[in-house]
Structures are given as C-alpha cells and as structure tokens.
Amino acid sequence: MRGTDLWTMGVIVGLAAVTVLTRCFFFILDRPWGLPEWAHRALHYAPAAALAGVIAPEIVMTQGHLITTLHDARLYAAVVGAAYYYWRRGVLGTMLAGMAVYLPLHLSLGW
C-alpha cells in the first residue's frame, strides 16, 4: 500500500486550518463584532434569492437547455403554485396545488 505524498498532506492540513480559522473567527476576537445594518437587511432576502436560484432553472431548463415547448408539466405546475400562493399565502397549499397539476400531466401525458 502506497503512502500519501507530501503535497496531498500539505493541502489537507491547509484546508483544515482554513476551516478551523473561519469557523472559530468569532471566538478568536477579543471584542464583540456585529454586521452593519445594510448587511442585516440584505440577509432577509437571502433565503428567497437562494430558493429562486435553485427552483427557477429547474422549471425552465431540462438537461442544461432551455425548454422550447409548452408540453412540460413543470411550467403549468409552477404557474398554478404561484397563483395559489398569491391567493392564499400558504406554502403547503402551494406545493399541493403545484403537484396536483404536475402529477396528472406528467403521468398521463408524459410531459
């Protein structure tokens, strides 16, 4: 069995050091540190932006290419889900409404 070379060990130790330093950064400081008010405001939008960044490509793309046809159940499910959320503001109902449209179209028509 071959041993690990010096370069690989150096990379592992370096990555471990960076990880420990960044995770313990707030404990190492001798005085309290807070985020500026603009950063607090920006963090309120982070969950919505992350969700949009994950969901939007999944709706309009398939296998890395934009959808070129309207025969895709995801499009209709997204529209119905968005309409339900606009109407009722409920997350569970939004998912159920979207799936109630998606599943029949996908299973029966093969979209």
pLDDT tens for residues 27-59? 777 777 788 899 889 889 988 898 889 999 999
pLDDT value, residue 27 = 78
- Map out the domains of the chain as residue ranges: 1-31, 37-109
Residue with tokens 């299973």: 107
- Cβ–Cβ under 8 Å, residues 102 and 77: yes
- Cβ–Cβ under 8 Å, residues 98 and 69: no
Bridge partner residues of 66 (DSSP): 61
Residue 105 has pLDDT above 90, yes or no: yes
pLDDT value, residue 22 = 87
In terms of pTM, does the model score above 0.85? no
